[in-house]
Chain A
Amino acid sequence: MTDATSAGAAPRPARSSSILEQDARTRKRNAAESRFKMYGIAAIGIGIFFLCVLLFAIVRNGIPAFTQTFITAEIALPGDRLDKTGNRDPEEMAKVSTFGYKPVIVDGLVRALEDAGIEIPFEDKADVEKMISAAAPAQVRDTVLANPELVGQTVEFRFLASSRVDGYEKGRVTRGDLARDKNLDAEHLDVVDAMKDAGMLERTFNWDFIFGADASESRPEQAGIGVAMLGSFFMMLVVLALALPIGVAASIYLEEFAPKNRWTDLIEVNISNLAAVPSIVFGILGLAVFIQIAHLPQSAPLVGGLVLTLMTLPTVIISTRASLKAVPPSIRDAALGVGASKMQSTFHHVLPLAMPGILTGTIIGLAQALGETAPLLLIGMVGYIASNYPDGVVSGFMDPNSAMPAQIYEWAKRADPAYYERAWGGIIILLCFLMTMNIIAIILRRRFERRW
C-alpha cells in the first residue's frame, strides 16, 4: 500500500515481471527453506538411528538372559547318607547340610552319564559338579526336606547348569576361553555336547529370571529380578499414595485458591526448580531425614518410596497445574454463575475435566521414579542382594530390598560375564514396564481428553 502511494509519482510498468519464473530473491528463499527441511530430516534420521542401535543392542544382549540351560538327571537319594537315624524325622534330616548333598548329586550325575553311555574324560569324576549350578545341593535338600519319603528312592531332578556351561550353550563361552578359566575345562564341553545329544541338557525359557530372587556373586545362573520387582512395586505404591494426593492438593490450591502474590510466585519458581534438581540430591536428603533423623530402616522400599515421592512431586504438580489451566475459564464462570462455591466449582467441574491430564502426568512421574537409580544408591537399596521374598505386606515395605534399576546396576557391576547378560535382560524388563505405563498414559489421554 505505502509503496503504491509513494510510487504514485513515477508510474510503474503495467507488468513488472512474470510470475512464471522465480526471481533471485525467491530462489534464495526457497533454497534456504529446503536446506532447513533437510537439516530437520537429518536430525530426525540421526535420532531414529540411535534409537534403533539402542534397541538392537538391548534386545541382542538381553534376550539370552531369558533362557537358561538345564541338566536333567535321575539322582538316587541314599538313606544312609541323608537320614542317618532312618526314622524320617525332618528335624534330624535337617542336620545334613548342603555339603552332605553334594556327593549324592555327583554320584547320581556320574551314574546318569554312565547310563547314557557318555564317557567322562577327566580323572576326578567329582569334577562333574562343575557343570551344574552351585545351587543344586540346596535344591535337592529343599526337595527332600519337603518330602522325607523320597529318601531311598531315585528321583528325577532338573538342575540349572553352571554359568559357564550356560555361556557355552549361548555362545558366550568358547573352548579357547576355558584355557584360562579354572571353573570349567574343555573336556567338560565334550560331555556337555554329548549330554545335549542324549537329551539330558536343554536350554529353555527361564521364568525364574523374571520372578526369581537375586543370587550371590558365584551363582549368576540362579539370579532373577523378581524380588527387586516387588521392591519397585512397593516403592511405586508409596509414591502413588503420597505424590498423587499431595501433588494434586498443592496444585489445586495454587491454581484455584491461592492469591497471586510474591509468595505464590516464589513457591511456583521453586517447584519448577525442584523438578530440575539432580536426583542424587533427593537421595542424600532422604538419607539425612528419613534414615538418620527419622530412623526408618535402611534399604527399605518405604524409604525409597518416600525419596522418590519427593522427586516425583514437582512433576505431578507441574502437570496437574498445566491441566487445571487448560480447563476453560468459562466452565468456572458457569459454575460460579449458578451459585456454586469455589470448591464445588473446582471439584464438580474443573477437576473431572483435568483428570486425564493429571493421571497422565502422574503416570509419567511414576515411570520416571521407577527408572531412578541414583537416590536409591544413598539409602542403601543398591548393593543389597535381594535374595529373599518379603513375607507379607508390612515386610514388603519395611524389610531391606532392592529395586529394578538398582538390581540392574548391581548386576552390571559384578564380575561374572553371565551377570552382564542379566543386566541387559533386566533392562528389557524395566523398559517393558515403562512402555506399558506410557501406553496407559496415552490411552487415558486419548479416551478422556475430547470432553468439550
Chain B
Amino acid sequence: MYDSPKAEAKLDQKEIKIAAEGVQVFYGDTHAIKDVNVQIEDKTVTAFIGPSGCGKSTFLRCLNRMNDTIDSCRVEGNIRLDGEDIYDKRVDPVQLRAKVGMVFQKPNPFPKSIYDNIAYGPRIHGLAKNKADLDDIVERALKRGAIWNEVKDRLHAPGTGLSGGQQQRLCIARAVATEPEVLLMDEPCSALDPIATGQVEELIDELRENYSVVIVTHSMQQAARVSQKTAFFHLGNLVEYGETGQIFTKPQDPRTESYITGRIG
C-alpha cells in the first residue's frame, strides 16, 4: 500500500474490516468474554495481548466461527465483517472461513506433501482451473509464506518432515493460498525458536500489505514489534485498545500498565 499514493492518503483512516459489538462468550456456565467492543482495521496487524486464560484466543476464534465446533460454546453480540453479521443465520461458516483464514499455535501441516498442503484449500474452493493454475497458486502462496526457496526442490516431500519454523510458515502459506481477506494467528510463534520467530514476524509484517492480520501473542515484545494496534484483555474484558505505541508507552488503564510492567499476568 505504500507504493500507492491513494492508499497513502488514507493512511490515517483505514477501513474497518471487522467490527465487534457487545460480544459475550459462554462455555457452558463460564462467562469467558464479557462485552467486548473492538474495531479491527484493514491492512493492519492487530495484536491481542493479556495473561493466560484472559479470553484472547477465544475471542480470536469467534472471528471465523471456529468456536462453532465446541458444543458448549455460546456466542452473543454482534460481529461484522465488512458490515455483514458473521453470526447471521444465512452465513455458512465454511464460506466465512475461506475469507477469514487461521493459523494455529502448533504448526499443523496435513500429513501430506508440501504441495498438497498448499493445494488443498484452492482445490476445495475451486480456485484453480487446471494443473498449471494450481502450480501457480502453490508457488505464489509459498513465496508469500517466505518458504519457497527452502522447499521449491522438494514440493512432494511430506510437510511433516520440515522443521518447526518451516512448518509454521507452511501453515501460513496454506492459509494465504485460499486468498483470505483476514488472517487470524493464534500464538503462531509460541512453539518456535527465536530465529524461526524472527522469520515469521518478518512474514507477518509483509502480509500486512494485503491482509488484515490479527495475532494473539503472549510476548509483549512481539506485539510491540509486529503490530500497529494492540488490544489488552484481562479476565474476559477488553481493558484497553489503541495504537501499539501508545499502549506500551502511555497506557490509560492501570491494569494495562501493571501487565506491561510485569506486575500481573
Residues of A within 8 A of B (CB): 259-260, 328, 330-341, 344, 348-349, 353, 451-452
Contact of A338 among B71, B101, B111 (CB under 8 A): B101
B142 within 8 A of A: no
Residues of A within 8 Å of B178, CB to CB, are: 338-339
Contact of A340 among B94, B103, B160 (CB under 8 A): B94
Which chain A residue has the least Cβ–Cβ distance from B160? A452
- The answer for the CA separation of A336 and B68 in the assembled complex, in Å, is 11
Smallest Cβ distance from B10 to chain A, in angstroms?
Answer: 29
Chain B 97-131 interface mask (CB, 8 Å, partner A; 1/0): 11001111010111100000000110011000000
- The answer for the CA separation of A344 and B97 in the assembled complex, in Å, is 14
- What are 19 contact pairs spanning A and B, CB under 8 A? A259-B71, A330-B106, A333-B66, A334-B104, A334-B171, A334-B174, A336-B69, A337-B103, A337-B104, A337-B175, A338-B175, A339-B95, A339-B98, A340-B121, A341-B94, A348-B124, A349-B110, A353-B111, A451-B111
Smallest Cβ distance from B187 to chain A, in angstroms?
Answer: 13
Smallest Cβ distance from A325 to chain B, in angstroms?
Answer: 15
- The answer for the CA separation of A249 and B242 in the assembled complex, in Å, is 50
Which chain B residue has the least Cβ–Cβ distance from A256? B69
A330 touches B174 (CB 8 A): no
Residues of B within 8 Å of A348, CB to CB, are: 120, 124
- Other A-B pairs beyond A337-B103, A338-B124, 16, CB < 8 Å: A260-B71, A333-B66, A334-B104, A335-B110, A336-B66, A337-B97, A337-B102, A338-B97, A338-B174, A338-B178, A339-B95, A339-B101, A339-B124, A339-B178, A340-B120, A349-B110
- A340-B71 contact, Cβ under 8 Å, with A334-B171, A452-B111: no
Interface size, chain B (Cβ < 8 Å): 27
A339 touches B111 (CB 8 A): no
- The answer for the CA separation of A331 and B159 in the assembled complex, in Å, is 13
Smallest Cβ distance from B163 to chain A, in angstroms?
Answer: 15
Smallest Cβ distance from B124 to chain A, in angstroms?
Answer: 6
Contact of B108 among A260, A333, A339, A353 (CB under 8 A): A333
- The answer for the CA separation of A335 and B121 in the assembled complex, in Å, is 8
Which chain B residue has the least Cβ–Cβ distance from A334? B108
- The answer for the CA separation of A121 and B177 in the assembled complex, in Å, is 96
Residues of A within 8 Å of B171, CB to CB, are: 334
Q: 8 Å CB contacts to A: which residues of B74-94?
A: 94
Residues of A within 8 Å of B104, CB to CB, are: 330, 333-334, 337
- A331-B66 contact, Cβ under 8 Å, with A337-B175, A339-B97: no
Residues of B within 8 Å of A328, CB to CB, are: 108
Residues of A within 8 Å of B109, CB to CB, are: 334
B121 touches A338 (CB 8 A): yes
- The answer for the CA separation of A277 and B256 in the assembled complex, in Å, is 61
- The answer for the CA separation of A338 and B125 in the assembled complex, in Å, is 9
Closest 10 CB pairs of A and B: A339-B98, A338-B121, A330-B108, A337-B102, A334-B108, A452-B111, A339-B97, A341-B94, A451-B111, A260-B71
- The answer for the CA separation of A260 and B95 in the assembled complex, in Å, is 25
Which chain B residue has the least Cβ–Cβ distance from A260? B71
- The answer for the CA separation of A338 and B175 in the assembled complex, in Å, is 6
Residue picked from B71, B94, B106, B178, most chain A C-beta under 10 Å: B94
Residues of A within 8 Å of B174, CB to CB, are: 334, 338
- The answer for the CA separation of A348 and B121 in the assembled complex, in Å, is 12
- The answer for the CA separation of A330 and B168 in the assembled complex, in Å, is 13
Smallest Cβ distance from A309 to chain B, in angstroms?
Answer: 31
Smallest Cβ distance from B93 to chain A, in angstroms?
Answer: 8
Residue picked from A328, A333, A353, most chain B C-beta under 10 Å: A333
- The answer for the CA separation of A154 and B187 in the assembled complex, in Å, is 93
Smallest Cβ distance from B215 to chain A, in angstroms?
Answer: 15
A339 touches B125 (CB 8 A): yes
- The answer for the CA separation of A109 and B177 in the assembled complex, in Å, is 87
Residues of A within 8 Å of B94, CB to CB, are: 339-341
Smallest Cβ distance from B114 to chain A, in angstroms?
Answer: 14
Smallest Cβ distance from B65 to chain A, in angstroms?
Answer: 9
- The answer for the CA separation of A334 and B124 in the assembled complex, in Å, is 14
- The answer for the CA separation of A260 and B71 in the assembled complex, in Å, is 7
A336 touches B106 (CB 8 A): no
- The answer for the CA separation of A348 and B69 in the assembled complex, in Å, is 18
Residues of A within 8 Å of B95, CB to CB, are: 339
Residues of A within 8 Å of B110, CB to CB, are: 331, 334-335, 349
Which chain A residue has the least Cβ–Cβ distance from B96? A339
Which chain A residue has the least Cβ–Cβ distance from B72? A260
Which chain A residue has the least Cβ–Cβ distance from B177? A338
Residues of A within 8 Å of B103, CB to CB, are: 337
- The answer for the CA separation of A333 and B106 in the assembled complex, in Å, is 11
